[in-house]
Amino acid sequence: MDTGEIANTPEPPYYAVIFTSVLGPDHDGYYETAARMAELVAESPGYLGHESARGEDRLGITVAYFRDEDSIRTWRDNAEHAAARARGRAEWYDGFELRIAKVERAYGFRRAE
């Protein structure tokens, strides 16, 4: 989930799950798990897309977009996702903040080829 593109989300309203994290010095297995989570979330009902970036300072932001709050709960309750979260907290992250937000307005720009 550390590379990607701008998500092609529909017209608002929809939901954003903003996950900001700081990776600790030891994070064996983190990138493999993140890639697996990116595959898995894309199959979750109501998923609309996600974006992710992590800089050299180890601060990363992933924003996943969902149709509604039920879709967020379904993803939260996925057993493999829950196991990955538990490992993140126990092993990988020095800290994180998760914010659930309702997207009210959006606009974008794509440069013509």
| Number of residues located near a second copy, criterion CB under 8 A | 45
- Closest distance of CB 10 from a second copy, Å: 12
Specify the 3-state DSSP secondary structure of 74. helix
Piece of 5-13, 31-39, 40-48, 74-82 that binds a second copy (CB under 8 A): 5-13
- Closest distance of CB 56 from a second copy, Å: 8
- Closest distance of CB 27 from a second copy, Å: 13
Q: With binding defined as CB under 8 A, does residue 101 bind a second copy? A: yes
Check if the beta carbon of residue 62 is closer than 8 Å to that of residue 49: no
Instruction: Give the length of the chain.
Output: 113
Q: Give the number of other CB atoms < 10 A from CB of residue 88.
A: 20
Distance, in Å, from the CA atom of 7 to the CA atom of 10, rounded to the nearest integer, reads 9
Q: Which residues contact 53 (CB under 8 A, 6 or more apart)?
A: 2, 60, 61
Q: With binding defined as CB under 8 A, does residue 1 bind a second copy? A: no
Q: With binding defined as CB under 8 A, does residue 20 bind a second copy? A: yes
Specify the 3-state DSSP secondary structure of 81. helix
Piece of 26-34, 36-44, 73-81, 101-109 that binds a second copy (CB under 8 A): 101-109
Start-to-end C-alpha separation, the chain: 26
Using CB under 8 A, list all residues that contact a second copy. 2-7, 9, 12, 16, 18, 20-22, 24, 51-57, 59-61, 63, 89, 93-111
